Amino acid sequence: MIILGILIFVHELGHFLTAKLFKMPVLEFAVGMGPKLFGIKRNDTEYNLRAIPFGGFVNIDGMDYNNPVENGFNTKKTYERFIVLFAGVFMNILFAFILILGLFVANGEEKIDYSNKVGSIEIESAAENILEKGDLILEIDNKEIQNWNDIFTVLSKKETANTCLLIERNSKQMEINVELKYLDSEKRYLLGISPNIQTVKYNIFSGSKRAAVQIKDITILIFKSLKMLILGEVNRKDVSGPIGVLKVVKTVAKSGGIISLLYFTAIISINLAIFNLLPLPALDGGRILFVILEMLKIKVNKNTEESIHRIGLIFFLILLVFITLNDVINWKRDPLDSIKNEKEIEEVMEERVITATEVEIEKNNDNIPLENKNNTENLNEEKNKEYKFEKNSGGINERYSK
């Protein structure tokens, strides 16, 4: 609840600051909801702290067309009203950008080399004391190996433990025989190696560029999810309100730690921004739509506009009640079930949080074994490409072990 409260507060802060910038009378800026605990009044604005630590609101005077106020919201120029309405969305995006940028600058970004080079060797695995870090696997049982996808494909089809490897070490080629270990839980043989993982460091400038790309990718995914929701391709159980989000946040914090929690907070912030920008009644996007119509000299009866927003508000309140009931009904359900298509995902999720981008890849590759999901599709386009994974990914060796 605290995370949602912070994000809503940031959103309302955008409206408040821009309203003050254009000298609109702001009657109240509240932190939290419910009964007022205490507050102070400065320059005709009440700053209140309320009992429920969830969100907040800004009361800008003059938004009611039937009660005009000097310098009120509706007396201002269209571009000023547009900026005030858009400021909440902007602040949520800016907040997400700062969070992601901070993570990149402070922790860097782990990238995986999907070439045929051995990155690490698991303890007590078949490869221990046989292979070395940096070895290039050229062939497995006389089958050519060019990348990690090839390694997975060949080993996943193994029916016997005895395996012949052709490797290159220190510019010299050699053949090595190895006895693979059978993993009962996955019903397959494992060699026990992982790809090379490197941490890319960013400064504030390169990190800003990378954070912008990340926000773009998350935004695209959110719009794809909205499309699925509109087309009825999303299960009712997968739609969450505040209670559902609270449970996911708890799972994320437990699974991935503070870094994953901060990243997930950025994702929620972008979700909040996009939702508010939708051109629907009562939302910022709906009010912005009417301001744009006014800019285009398209006249809309003000009373009609207000009625539309009131109906929209009632609709969203009813929708919130149904979504909350849905959250309560599904409380015992794992909030990440919608992306757990295989047993391997469940195991990995005990160690780390799947990011929005990874979820999209996995949902598009439901029939591909998890170890191969992130590289199968993309290696067809560009071999040896590197992909981002979150920090604290303790399950990385388990997921990519061969």
| Residues labelled as active-site residues | 12
DSSP letters, 239-257, are ---HHHHHHHHHHHHHHHH
Residue partners of 41: CB distance under 8 A and separation at least 6 = 47
Give me 194's structure tokens. 């992982």
Give me 361's structure tokens. 């890849």
Alpha carbons 41 and 2: distance in angstroms, whole number = 25
Other CB atoms closer than 10 Å to residue 357's CB: what's the count?
18
Alpha carbons 328 and 247: distance in angstroms, whole number = 11
Nearest alpha carbon to residue 204 among 62, 105, 311: 105
Strand boundaries in 103-142, DSSP class E: 109-113, 120-121, 136-140
Residue 75: DSSP 8-state: G
Alpha carbons 54 and 56: distance in angstroms, whole number = 7
Which element (helix H / strand E) includes 85? helix 78-107
Coarse DSSP helix, strand, coil percentages of the chain, rounded to the nearest 5 percent: 50, 20, 30
Give me 10's structure tokens. 């940031």
Half-sphere exposure of 21 (CA within 13 A, CB side): 13
96-134 per-residue burial string, b: 16 or more CB within 10 A, e: under 16: bbebbbebbbebebbbbbbbbbbbbbbeebbbeebbeee
Alpha carbons 164 and 180: distance in angstroms, whole number = 10
Alpha carbons 38 and 172: distance in angstroms, whole number = 76
